[in-house]
Amino acid sequence: MDISWAALEEMAVTSFDYEPMGEEIDRWCNLFDISRSEAPEIIKEFRMDLDRRRLTNDQWDTIKDDKEAEGYDRETYEYQIQLSLTRSRISKRPKTCDDKALFVFKLGSPFADVESLQAAVGVSATLKRGIGEKGDANFAHITGAAKRAIEDWIESQSPRPPQPTFIRLSQSPKDLSDKSCHPSLGIDSSLPQYRLQDNLCYTPTQMEYPVWYLFYGTLMDPETVQKCISLPTTPQLVPASTKGGILRSWGRKYKALVDGPADARVDGFAYKVETAEHEECLRFRETEAYEVVRCRINLEGVEEVWGLTFRFVKHDELDVD
């Protein structure tokens, strides 16, 4: 008699449609460090996996005595093999994104909030509130390293929870050190003279607002700035310059500021960014092709101040001069 795959699957469902009990639950809990409430669902899901790897009778007979002495039966040892294969795939999986890249995903299942994410996976996230498909929603902002840790955690769970939909955010990174002037335009901040001295503080600090920015390229247009950060009126930009950098070309159309000689001058316009939200809009506009760095800004006819600018990071994509 020919039996279809669908019939076999139906037989498997019928065969395993019961709650595991007693000794078998104890065995699974002891071997795999799972709770008694988790065990039945994990056991049933494993038994329903018709594609799982199975030991032949000869293979089990060869190792049966040793494995039973360790507390396994045939089924639990097959599950142990599956866990080992999953962990091997995780460790061999290539990195698919930069650790410093930024991602966002909607909180829900399996992580109801950033606290549960921290507790389960051990990674930090920033809570952002926004609008989802069904109204107000909470989102987690994470790094590429955190994204990979979440993916690894999900793949190691049994039963496997749903994977969030990650959306990559192309935003200029900003990571200003409070122990040195790093990162600064045209300065090797690893040199001893640029390390923090007693009673000194390098400015601007990471969360200091308002903060001066030196703009060059398309951001020298006041209407572009107004549109980018949704200002009600056209902003007043101040003619300004900085030293320690040079302007290169990227994609035959964009200006790219890179480190240069200490006396190399770059002219542009300065603007005082009032809030973190305005700064975030600018960082999204400049994308991860640039990073936020400190620089000394000479406000023409006014004063010289420490501020920030966008330095290009994709040096291999610069146009050949």
| 155 vs 265, more confident | 265
186, 243 contact by CB (below 8 A):
yes
Return the pLDDT at 24: 86
Average pLDDT, the chain: 84
Return the pLDDT at 192: 63
Return the pLDDT at 11: 43
| Buried-state track 171-206, b at ≥16 Cβ within 10 A, e below 16 | bbbbebbeebbbbbbbbebeeeebeeeeeeebebee
**Residues 126-148: what's their mean pLDDT?**
83
Structure confidence by residue, pLDDT tens digits, 13-70: 444 445 677 888 888 888 887 877 778 888 887 887 766 778 888 888 989 998 899 8
Answer yes or no: pTM beyond 0.75. no
**Amino acid, single-letter form, for residue 97:** C
Count of CB atoms within 10 A of residue 70's CB? 11
What is the Cα Rg of the chain in Å?
29
Alpha-carbon distance of 256 to 243, in angstroms, equals: 15
Return the pLDDT at 19: 67
Alpha-carbon distance of 129 to 311, in angstroms, equals: 29
**Position 6 pLDDT exceeds 90:** no
If you search the block for the tokens 């406000």, which residue do you land on? 299
The verdict on whether omega for the bond into residue 239 sits within 30 degrees of 0, i.e. cis, is no
Please list the residues that pair with 104 across neighbouring strands: 141, 167
| 289 vs 41, more confident | 289
The region of weakest confidence among 47-56, 142-151, 199-208, 277-286 is: 47-56
Structure confidence by residue, pLDDT tens digits, 258-274: 999 999 999 999 999 99
Structure confidence by residue, pLDDT tens digits, 62-100: 899 988 998 999 989 988 888 777 655 544 444 445 777
Structure confidence by residue, pLDDT tens digits, 181-216: 889 999 887 766 566 555 567 899 999 999 999 999
